[in-house]
Amino acid sequence: MGDTLRIGAHEAVTIRRSDPDCLELEARYEPHGSPPPAHFHPGHDERFEVVEGRLSVDLGGTNESYEAGAGFAIPRGTVHRMWNGGAEPVVVHWWSTPALQAESWFRGLAALQQSAAAAGSSRPDLLAFAAHAAGHRDTFRLVLGNSPLLGSLFVGCLGGIGRLLGRSVSAGG
């Protein structure tokens, strides 16, 4: 344990514990981030404790801000996104229960982010991301235009194209 994975242009997670019951992370959100895509987790619940800074959270369409010492939970199926739009770093302890494929999801995001950085981009290849997301449907579901169905169609179609073209995490995006 202890692997630190850069999963976005402004986000990194350190694995503190990983077993079938729980993936425990410490997440670091660098300043001036932007909201990720809205999504939900169909098979696991998440719990967070803000250790440092102020985290912005869109939880089911309601915007909240959580400061150091605050905790909150996101039940499975709840659409959400979180980021640090402020000027100071944010550190959060994060638990996903049960773990399902959450560790594999984050490791894949880190590989996609590394490929993007090597190509001079801050965002992963869209087809590779969709292929990765399609393979982790128990862990992550994209929501587009407030529609989980539209997100599933988008990921399914683009993920299939990505797989056909060899755009996968193992292929380097």
91, part of any domain: yes
Phi first, then psi: give them for residue 133, nearest 5 degrees. Answer: -65, -40
Tokens of 110: 């880190």
90, part of any domain: yes
Is residue 108 scored above 60 in pLDDT? Answer: yes
Rounded Cα–Cα distance for residues 169 and 116 (Å): 11
**Is 88 in the same domain as 137?**
no
Is residue 172 scored above 50 in pLDDT? Answer: no
Rounded Cα–Cα distance for residues 150 and 132 (Å): 17
The tally of domains found in the chain comes to 2
Q: What is the pTM of this model?
A: 0.91
Residue finishing a domain among 68, 97, 126 = 97
Residue finishing a domain among 57, 80, 97 = 97
152, part of any domain: yes
**Is 90 in the same domain as 110?**
no
Q: How confident is the model at residue 171 (pLDDT cuts 50, 70, 90)?
A: very low
Q: What is the pLDDT of residue 170?
A: 57
| Residue recorded with tokens 């302890």 | 93
Q: What does the pLDDT look like over 141-156, one tens digit per residue?
A: 999 988 888 999 999 9
Q: How confident is the model at residue 1 (pLDDT cuts 50, 70, 90)?
A: low
Rounded Cα–Cα distance for residues 63 and 170 (Å): 36
Tokens of 111: 């590989």
- Structural domain of residue 49, as residue ranges? 4-97
pLDDT: which is higher, 52 or 168:
52
140, part of any domain: yes
| Residue recorded with tokens 């404790």 | 49
Sheet holding 62-67, edge to edge: 62-67, 54-59, 80-83, 39-40, 141-142
**Is 22 in the same domain as 76?**
yes
Residue whose C-alpha is closest to residue 67's, from 87, 33, 46, 92: 92
Q: What is the pLDDT of residue 134?
A: 94
- Asked if residues 136 and 104 have their Cβ atoms less than 8 Å apart, the reply is yes
b or e along 136-153 (b: 16 or more beta carbons within 10 Å of the residue's beta carbon)? beebbbbbbeeebeebbe
Is residue 166 scored above 70 in pLDDT? Answer: yes
**Is 51 in the same domain as 33?**
yes
Q: What does the pLDDT look like over 33-92, one tens digit per residue?
A: 989 899 999 999 999 999 999 999 999 889 999 999 999 999 999 999 999 989 999 999
**Is 35 in the same domain as 117?**
no
